[in-house]
Amino acid sequence: RRALRWVSGRAPVRGLRASPRAGTAMPSWVIDRYGSNEVLRFTRDMMFPIIHFPNEVIIKVHAASLNPIDLSMRSGYGATALNMKRDPLKLKTGETEFPLTLGRDVSGVVMECGLGVSYFKPGDEVWAAIPPWKQGTLSEFVVASGNEVSFKPKCLSHTEAAALPYVGLTAWSALNQVGGLNQSNCSGKRILILGASGGVGTFAVQLMKAWDAHVTAVCSNDASTLVKKLGADDVIDYKSGNLEGQLKTLPLFDFILDNVGGSTEKWALDLLKKWSGATYVTLVTPFLINMDKLGVADGMLQTGVTVGSKTLKHLLKGVHYRWAFFMPSGPSLDEIAELVDSGKIQPVIDEVFSFSEVPEAFLKLEGGHARGKTVINVINRQ
């Protein structure tokens, strides 16, 4: 079984030669400042990752993929919060986050393990989503905490596997950890997914169908065939007139996942069943932008006031309002891998690029309207 592909052909791929200074430097795509696509720079002299903690592993990257957060981070969005996470005590005075490697998804092979790692060994095929405050995966090697890593699904190639970790964990966080949905409580529930044809949306549709929910998916008309193929029961084209009006003709929902944000939040909660435990979860929050604009302390305060007031306002109307964020988790990836190997979830790949084509891959993502994921083959192995 292969991944669903919107674009059937593969981009040409090329292998990476080993760095002549193996052990000290490696090939990477980095940025030295924030900006648009011209800030991306290829180097063969990126510092080789080092294991600093006993629970860390070094992974040889076979494939990576891009997510909207990579575009945001390239432009500097969220830098205040991420730099605080990188150096919470401000010990590295004068140092900056640059050169910074983007890319969150990795599928590859364990090369080295810290002394505290017993679950993995060199040679294991693994996948992971690296949190955004760490150096990323558009590189020959990447270091990760053992609790962020999971064994790659056996039925997928590295190229296919790299499409899933970040979007899978983001959807898992929203639906399971924040939304409280699981295999035992989803049967017959009516789920609305706004923005169903992107990476998170295509994963969420499949997960909800694997858990026996009724799924209504909102996307553009040219993605409807794909979303139906993933199992959605009802597919609504958001461009075909009044979306709010179309959705109000349907029975009320038990759960809404909002990947779109903006004006949808003003009316989407009216589509939920009142006083039944129905929940709206949005992945579009002002948390990082508040900290960028207001600084850490005032940004966190403003964010807390916003989510608190919205939660209370909607609770008084009989529905639950929640924010969700990506959370790195090897154990959650273990569960996702089981669903993949059982045939219930498959990666949806829009296009595959070689490692030399990373700038083109960013431009593809920047163009929007992706049908699934943009994947990078870091080495020429499938």
Is the predicted pLDDT of residue 7 greater than 60, yes or no?
Answer: no
Give the pLDDT confidence score for residue 332 in this predicted structure: 98
φ, ψ of residue 26 to 5 degrees: the values are -155, 160
The answer to which of 119-123, 139-143, 191-195, 291-295 has the lowest mean pLDDT is: 291-295
Give the pLDDT confidence score for residue 371 in this predicted structure: 86
Give the pLDDT confidence score for residue 307 in this predicted structure: 86
| End-to-end alpha carbon distance in the chain | 14
The tens digit of pLDDT for each residue in 309-322 reads: 998 999 999 999 99
Secondary structure letter of residue 4 according to DSSP: E
Rounded alpha-carbon distances, angstroms, from residue 94 to 14, 90, 98, 267: 38, 9, 12, 47
Is the predicted pLDDT of residue 41 greater than 50, yes or no?
Answer: yes
What domain range includes position 138?
25-163+347-377
In a domain, 44, yes or no: yes
- Residue at 231: amino acid letter: G
Average pLDDT for residues 257-285, to the nearest whole number?
95
- Helix, strand, or coil here: 260? coil
Of residues 93, 90, 96, 122, the one with CA closest to residue 109: 122
Secondary structure letter of residue 204 according to DSSP: H
CA distance linking residue 296 with residue 287, whole number of Å: 10
Average pLDDT, the chain: 91
**One domain, residues 151 and 190:** no
In a domain, 371, yes or no: yes
In a domain, 9, yes or no: no
Residue 351 or residue 380, greater confidence: 351
Of residues 293, 294, 250, the one with CA closest to residue 272: 250
Residue 163 contacts residue 3 (beta carbons within 8 Å): yes
Residue 113 contacts residue 122 (beta carbons within 8 Å): yes
Burial of 274 (0-12, 13-18, 19+ CB in 10 A): exposed
The DSSP element (H or E) to which 82 belongs, if any, is: helix 79-86
Give the pLDDT confidence score for residue 340 in this predicted structure: 98
pLDDT band at 100 (very low <50, low <70, confident <90, very high): very high
**One domain, residues 239 and 362:** no
**One domain, residues 308 and 208:** yes
Question: Strand order in 25-31's β-sheet?
Answer: 40-47, 25-31, 100-101
Which string of DSSP letters, residue by residue, matches 287-323?
HHHHHHHH-HHHHHHHHHHHHHHHHHHHHTTT-EEEE
**One domain, residues 310 and 351:** no
Average pLDDT for residues 96-112, to the nearest whole number?
97
Token reading at 110? 């364990």
CA distance linking residue 73 with residue 233, whole number of Å: 35
Sequence-distant (6+) residues with CB within 8 A of 161 are 63, 107, 127, 152, 153, 347
The tens digit of pLDDT for each residue in 330-359 reads: 999 999 999 999 999 999 999 999 999 999
**One domain, residues 188 and 306:** yes
Residue 203 contacts residue 167 (beta carbons within 8 Å): yes
- Residue at 366: amino acid letter: E
Give the pLDDT confidence score for residue 5 in this predicted structure: 54
CA distance linking residue 341 with residue 324, whole number of Å: 26
Average pLDDT for residues 30-55, to the nearest whole number?
97
Is the predicted pLDDT of residue 230 greater than 60, yes or no?
Answer: yes
The answer to which of 145-154, 295-304, 351-360 has the lowest mean pLDDT is: 295-304
How many domains does one find in the chain? 2
Is the predicted pLDDT of residue 2 greater than 70, yes or no?
Answer: no
- Helix, strand, or coil here: 168? helix
**One domain, residues 184 and 316:** yes
Give the pLDDT confidence score for residue 99 in this predicted structure: 96
In a domain, 18, yes or no: no
The tens digit of pLDDT for each residue in 195-223 reads: 999 999 999 999 999 999 999 999 999 99
Give the pLDDT confidence score for residue 286 in this predicted structure: 76
CATH number at residue 207: 3.40.50.720
Residue 3 contacts residue 156 (beta carbons within 8 Å): yes
Give the pLDDT confidence score for residue 22 in this predicted structure: 44
Residue 128 or residue 94, greater confidence: 128
pLDDT band at 380 (very low <50, low <70, confident <90, very high): low
**One domain, residues 259 and 159:** no
pLDDT band at 24 (very low <50, low <70, confident <90, very high): confident
**One domain, residues 317 and 185:** yes
**One domain, residues 201 and 105:** no
Rounded alpha-carbon distances, angstroms, from residue 200 to 37, 172, 257: 24, 9, 10
Give the pLDDT confidence score for residue 225 in this predicted structure: 96
Is the predicted pLDDT of residue 1 greater than 70, yes or no?
Answer: no
In a domain, 128, yes or no: yes
85-90 contacts at long range (C-beta below 8 A, 24 or more positions apart): 85/133, 86/133
Rounded to the nearest 5 percent, the helix, strand and coil shares of the chain are: 35, 25, 40
Is the predicted pLDDT of residue 126 greater than 50, yes or no?
Answer: yes
In a domain, 52, yes or no: yes
In a domain, 1, yes or no: no
In a domain, 246, yes or no: yes
Average pLDDT for residues 234-241, to the nearest whole number?
90
CATH number at residue 125: 3.90.180.10
Give the pLDDT confidence score for residue 381 in this predicted structure: 40
**One domain, residues 157 and 183:** no
Is the predicted pLDDT of residue 239 greater than 90, yes or no?
Answer: no
Place of tokens 């080295």: 112
Is the predicted pLDDT of residue 8 greater than 50, yes or no?
Answer: no
φ, ψ of residue 56 to 5 degrees: the values are -95, 155
**One domain, residues 355 and 283:** no
**One domain, residues 259 and 227:** yes
298-303 contacts at long range (C-beta below 8 A, 24 or more positions apart): 299/80, 299/81
